[in-house]
Chain A
Amino acid sequence: MNPNPETGDFVAAFRDACTRRWGAVVSAVDDGTRGGCRIDCPPAMLVSLCGWLHTEMGFDLATLVVEDAGAGGWRLHYCFHTESGRVELCLAQPIEMTRVPSISAVVHAADWHEREIEDLFGLDFEGHPKLGEFVLHEHWPEGVNPLRADFAAGARNASTAPATEWTPPTIVDAPGAFVMPVGPVYSDFGEAAHFQLETVGEDVIVTYPRLFYKHRGVEKIAEGKTLADALLLAERFSGTSAFAHALALCQAAERIAGVAPPPRALALRALLAEFERLRHHAATITGLCASTALAVAASQAGLIEEALLRASAVATGHRYLFGVARPGGLACDVEPGAVADLARAAQTALADLDSLDAILRYTSSFLDRLEAVGIISPDQARAFGLVGPVARASGLTRDLRESLPYGAYDRVGFFVPVEQEGDGYARLRVLLAECRQSAAIIRALASRIPDGPVATPWTPSAGTALGWTEAPIGAAFHWLRLDAEGRVVRYRLTPPSFNNWHGFHLAAENFAFQDFPIILASVGLSVAECDR
């Protein structure tokens, strides 16, 4: 059995394993939070330690955080997690030294992290095969790194030169091969992103996504803000999963201050988070039905989505749950009558989804479009560190609500649905099964919300912490450093869409062109969440 993170067994077990493998060279220390360890890592050991954690110990990369402390030098934090605990590798080096060993070869999920950091900080990851233009597109001046401490967040980029110089990279070398560009303005409702579909005629061989058209510099503009103002950003960088991200930031701030929200707040937070998941999944199912041109089903799913949006507004004052979470608890109480209304809305939505599912699974024209389309194998999902329903449709069981329980989740019973096929239909089945679980959690919580206040006073204190939630799209990690006044020094956001877009091309290989919208809809990713 896995050691329980609450009892600290994980820390002891991990330190033993560490000593057995590395002797006195590496020492892991308890970081003071439940189930967390810290290792001060000598640079020469970085790659082998990360490789050991990932391949032998079964850890996944949560996030890679870089801090530019000016004269204090570089501080890098490699955060890993497993089903029983967390480990943070800390690396420090002088500010003049801009070369860091790349860990992408041993932990492939670090690939995009390193590319992003190279672009935003100017750190050079030695051994990484593909550094260069990534987040900042070709109009951005070379050598200007906006996340460096001496860069002013408000400095506007004067260059608005159009992207004439940019030519797409090609992989396919065959007679008649060409690239079909899609986006950034495409489809009826499409988020700004660009895709190059390489084809030799009818079938698309590979897809090359180009993202970050929507980069809003959230990590940079958060710096210097009060926590309350940073919370506005956490809610608004990906508005359709606002509550999950607000919660992750609040939990990080609470961990720094050592504040525990009251039981009523914890129960209501879990209830609202599941309500958001239900609505988000309903929206993904709407998109999937619409992508297969099944108009009646799309309309039916759209009705469910709107009913849930209305219920959110009635209970909390906002259709997307903005302004509800607050460090220490909730900004406003949800009255007992409103809790009952939310529970009722969730049960109605579930009944409607079930009746929709009952017809969908006998609609062969719909199933034909989903089955064996956009397949991601379990090995690929693990290697790319995929998260959320997409990973769970490819055989990975990880769910942060279960592996690293937060809030009220260790007190509610639920199971994590998993499918093995990794195709569009498996992803739909996972979404529907998760909707059933969310509705069950809501039902269980609504009947026994504890009485009492909804917030504990949160007082600012300096420190760092990692906050995490299982957002509708998957694991979200928010790493936070606050100063003594409670202002943000560094805010690193690793949303699930960032991980999953990294592996999106796996689902978009060797397919018929007309399946592209279906593959996009079935992975259900947010560009806003990835681009930040």
Chain B
Amino acid sequence: MMKWVRKGLASGIKSTRYPAAAETAPGVSPGRPRATRLAPAAAEELAARCPSGALTAQSGGIAVAHGRCVHCARCRQGEVTMSWENGYEWAGAEVATLADGLARAFGRSLHIRYLDAGACGACMSEARQLNNPYYNMHRLGFFITATPRTADVLLVAGPVTDAMRVALRATYDAMPEPKRVVAMGACALSGGVFGPSYAAGTGAAEVVPVDVQVPGCPPPPLALLHALLVVVERKPPQALGDDPPEAREGRT
């Protein structure tokens, strides 16, 4: 046993300083496309290249619906490309639904029930990383729980397959109030590359009320951490859509 103690101590502190400071280590996030100013013809060509409908040509360039993006990187390859952002604070929410003071009810600890509603395994893998020393979510008072009876947050991944609809609803119903639902990944937000079909739906919102949405395919661990910080109102949510600069200016 002493060997393990020594091994643990010898590793030193690995945990990220996020949210106290930004995490800048390379590879923590794959990044994602951001709204880009482009000529109409180029914008049309790029939008047609997008297989998931995340990109739409608008006056002034291309808008991004992050919830639909499946990180296929096609818009990064070729002659015309999107500009790319490297962040990870991606979680979005309707501010109105969060402004009910619920965060205080959760106190300083948040218990999370992960629910696989047909996810590919990458989302679960990223969620699992939250327990490793790099992300160490326990330091923020976040814990994974095995039973919905003690859960504050339902973390749903996957497009919600036909056979999991009943289990998802039953799990949600088994959680005590107050509770929040966090949908993670393109599948849980929009059905991703799978739904709608005979076997899968268009995401968690078909079955349970979703409070916080984390785009990504899969969302990296820091994006999940951001989502949980949004739930406890320690971080503000981000917009789930991104319009090109000119369209934004035109609106104001």
Q: Which A residues fall within an 8 A CB radius of B?
A: 137, 139-140, 146, 151-157, 160, 162-163, 184-192, 212-218, 220-221, 228-229, 232-233, 236-240, 242, 283, 286, 294, 296-297, 299-300, 302-303, 305-306, 309-314, 317-320, 322-323, 331-332, 355, 359, 362-363, 526-529, 531
Contacts A192-B167, A320-B218, A528-B119 aside, 9 further interface pairs with beta carbons under 8 A come to A162-B166, A214-B118, A216-B200, A217-B194, A239-B122, A302-B128, A302-B131, A303-B11, A526-B121
Q: How far is the CB of B165 from chain A (nearest CB, A)?
A: 5
Cross-chain contact of B163 among A139, A146, A306, A310 (Cβ < 8 A): A139
A232 and B30 contact, Cβ closer than 8 Å, known pairs A140-B162, A188-B145, A217-B198: no
With the chains together, A252 CA to B170 CA distance in Å?
A: 42
A185 and B148 contact, Cβ closer than 8 Å, known pairs A146-B199, A236-B192: yes
| B193 near A213: Cβ-Cβ < 8 Å | no
Q: Which B residues from 58 to 89 make CB contacts under 8 A with A?
A: 70-74, 76-77
Q: Mask for B155-199, Cβ within 8 A of A = 1, else 0?
A: 000110111111100110000000000000000000011111111
| B29 near A238: Cβ-Cβ < 8 Å | no
List 11 A–B pairs whose Cβ atoms lie within 8 Å, in order of A's numbering: A189-B114, A191-B124, A192-B116, A218-B194, A239-B122, A240-B121, A306-B132, A320-B218, A322-B70, A322-B72, A529-B121
Residue of A146, A313, A531 with most chain B CB atoms under a 10 A cut-off? A313
Cross-chain contact of B14 among A236, A237, A303, A320 (Cβ < 8 A): A303
A184 and B167 contact, Cβ closer than 8 Å, known pairs A156-B196, A214-B116: yes
| A217 near B199: Cβ-Cβ < 8 Å | yes
For the complex, is B26 an interface residue (Cβ under 8 Å from A)? Answer: yes
With the chains together, A436 CA to B122 CA distance in Å?
A: 24
With the chains together, A90 CA to B201 CA distance in Å?
A: 36
With the chains together, A320 CA to B28 CA distance in Å?
A: 12
| Chain A residues touching B, majority SS | loop
With the chains together, A188 CA to B130 CA distance in Å?
A: 12
A213 and B218 contact, Cβ closer than 8 Å, known pairs A302-B131, A314-B27, A323-B73: no
| B4 near A306: Cβ-Cβ < 8 Å | no
| B132 near A160: Cβ-Cβ < 8 Å | no
With the chains together, A529 CA to B162 CA distance in Å?
A: 17
- Interfacial chain B residues near A228, Cβ < 8 Å: 51
Residue of A nearest to B6 (CB): A359
Q: Mask for B133-169, Cβ within 8 A of A = 1, else 0?
A: 1100000000011101000000000110111111100
Residue of B nearest to A229 (CB): B51
- Interfacial chain B residues near A237, Cβ < 8 Å: 120
| B146 near A239: Cβ-Cβ < 8 Å | no
A185 and B8 contact, Cβ closer than 8 Å, known pairs A157-B162, A215-B161: no
- Interfacial chain B residues near A188, Cβ < 8 Å: 114, 144-146
With the chains together, A331 CA to B125 CA distance in Å?
A: 24
With the chains together, A527 CA to B122 CA distance in Å?
A: 12
A156 and B118 contact, Cβ closer than 8 Å, known pairs A233-B193, A314-B26: no
With the chains together, A527 CA to B201 CA distance in Å?
A: 19
Residue of B29, B121, B159 with most chain A CB atoms under a 10 A cut-off? B121
With the chains together, A144 CA to B81 CA distance in Å?
A: 44
List 4 tightest A-B contacts by C-beta distance, closest first: A239-B122, A310-B27, A302-B132, A217-B199
| A318 near B73: Cβ-Cβ < 8 Å | yes
Interface bracket on B: 35 or more
| B218 near A239: Cβ-Cβ < 8 Å | yes
- Interfacial chain B residues near A331, Cβ < 8 Å: 73, 77
- Interfacial chain A residues near B165, Cβ < 8 Å: 160
With the chains together, A240 CA to B126 CA distance in Å?
A: 10
- Interfacial chain B residues near A310, Cβ < 8 Å: 25-28
- Interfacial chain A residues near B212, Cβ < 8 Å: none
| A303 near B158: Cβ-Cβ < 8 Å | no
A214 and B161 contact, Cβ closer than 8 Å, known pairs A189-B124, A359-B4: yes
For the complex, is B220 an interface residue (Cβ under 8 Å from A)? Answer: yes
Q: How far is the CB of A447 from chain B (nearest CB, A)?
A: 23
- Interfacial chain B residues near A221, Cβ < 8 Å: 194, 197, 199
For the complex, is B251 an interface residue (Cβ under 8 Å from A)? Answer: no
A220 and B158 contact, Cβ closer than 8 Å, known pairs A160-B165, A323-B72: no
| A317 near B129: Cβ-Cβ < 8 Å | no
| A220 near B7: Cβ-Cβ < 8 Å | no
A306 and B167 contact, Cβ closer than 8 Å, known pairs A140-B162, A232-B193, A317-B76: no
With the chains together, A312 CA to B125 CA distance in Å?
A: 14
Cross-chain contact of A139 among B14, B117, B122, B162 (Cβ < 8 A): B162
Residue of A nearest to B165 (CB): A160
Q: How far is the CB of B121 from chain A (nearest CB, A)?
A: 4
Q: How far is the CB of B147 from chain A (nearest CB, A)?
A: 9
Q: How far is the CB of A486 from chain B (nearest CB, A)?
A: 15
Q: How far is the CB of A409 from chain B (nearest CB, A)?
A: 25
For the complex, is B127 an interface residue (Cβ under 8 Å from A)? Answer: yes
- Interfacial chain A residues near B11, Cβ < 8 Å: 299-300, 303
- Interfacial chain B residues near A146, Cβ < 8 Å: 198-199
For the complex, is B229 an interface residue (Cβ under 8 Å from A)? Answer: no
- Interfacial chain A residues near B14, Cβ < 8 Å: 303
- Interfacial chain A residues near B121, Cβ < 8 Å: 191, 238-240, 526, 528-529
For the complex, is B31 an interface residue (Cβ under 8 Å from A)? Answer: yes
Q: Mask for B27-71, Cβ within 8 A of A = 1, else 0?
A: 111110000000000000000000100000000000000000011
A319 and B72 contact, Cβ closer than 8 Å, known pairs A213-B164, A296-B4, A363-B4: no
| A318 near B71: Cβ-Cβ < 8 Å | yes
Residue of B26, B114, B131, B192 with most chain A CB atoms under a 10 A cut-off? B131
For the complex, is B217 an interface residue (Cβ under 8 Å from A)? Answer: yes
| A212 near B133: Cβ-Cβ < 8 Å | no
For the complex, is B104 an interface residue (Cβ under 8 Å from A)? Answer: no
With the chains together, A187 CA to B77 CA distance in Å?
A: 41
Cross-chain contact of B197 among A153, A162, A185, A238 (Cβ < 8 A): A153
- Interfacial chain A residues near B195, Cβ < 8 Å: 216
Residue of B5, B76, B167 with most chain A CB atoms under a 10 A cut-off? B167
- Interfacial chain A residues near B198, Cβ < 8 Å: 146, 151-157, 217, 220
Q: How far is the CB of A445 from chain B (nearest CB, A)?
A: 21
A184 and B30 contact, Cβ closer than 8 Å, known pairs A192-B118, A239-B218: no
Residue of A nearest to B194 (CB): A216
- Interfacial chain A residues near B122, Cβ < 8 Å: 236, 239-240, 242, 320
With the chains together, A27 CA to B129 CA distance in Å?
A: 54
For the complex, is B3 an interface residue (Cβ under 8 Å from A)? Answer: yes
For the complex, is B123 an interface residue (Cβ under 8 Å from A)? Answer: yes
Q: How far is the CB of B91 from chain A (nearest CB, A)?
A: 18
Residue of A nearest to B71 (CB): A322
Q: How far is the CB of A437 from chain B (nearest CB, A)?
A: 23
Q: How far is the CB of A41 from chain B (nearest CB, A)?
A: 32
- Interfacial chain B residues near A300, Cβ < 8 Å: 7-8, 11
With the chains together, A296 CA to B144 CA distance in Å?
A: 18
| A236 near B163: Cβ-Cβ < 8 Å | no
Q: How far is the CB of B55 from chain A (nearest CB, A)?
A: 15
| A213 near B167: Cβ-Cβ < 8 Å | yes
| A154 near B26: Cβ-Cβ < 8 Å | no
